[in-house]
């Protein structure tokens, strides 16, 4: 397998797992708010917070990439 293809597959795997994790975390938060009426979460470990922010920005970038790719494929098909 070529390096470019492997990197593209890795990019999509990480991107999709970040988006799936965001959806799952959103469901957990909304479930917690629905049951208790409030959500309270504190992260004191700076390494964990930094990794979470990295994955958040990666997921946002990947979502923009997917959206742009979908729009361009629709425009090309017209």
What angle, 0 to 180 degrees and rounded to 10, lies between the N-to-C axes of helices 3-36 and 46-77? 110
Whether 59 contacts 15, CB under 8 Å: yes
Write down the mean pLDDT value for the chain: 86
Q: How many residues does the chain have?
A: 78
Give per-residue pLDDT as tens, 28-37: 888 888 888 8
Distances (CA, A) of 6 to 10, 16, 44, 49, 54: 6, 15, 36, 28, 21
Q: What is the pLDDT of residue 43?
A: 79
pLDDT (tens digit per residue) in 2-56: 888 888 888 889 989 988 988 888 888 888 888 888 877 777 888 988 888 888 8
Judge contact between 69 and 29, C-beta under 8 A.
no
Question: Would you state the structure tokens that stand for residue 59, as one six-digit string?
Answer: 């997921």
pLDDT computed for residue 3 by the predictor: 83
């Amino acid at each position: 397998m070529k390096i470019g293809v492997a990197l593209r597959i890795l990019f999509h795997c990480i991107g999709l797992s970040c988006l799936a994790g965001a959806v799952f975390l959103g469901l957990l938060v909304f479930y917690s708010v629905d049951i208790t009426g409030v959500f309270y979460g504190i992260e004191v470990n700076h390494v964990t917070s930094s990794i979470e922010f990295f994955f958040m920005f990666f997921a946002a970038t990947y979502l923009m990439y997917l959206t742009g790719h979908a729009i361009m494929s629709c425009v090309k098909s017209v």
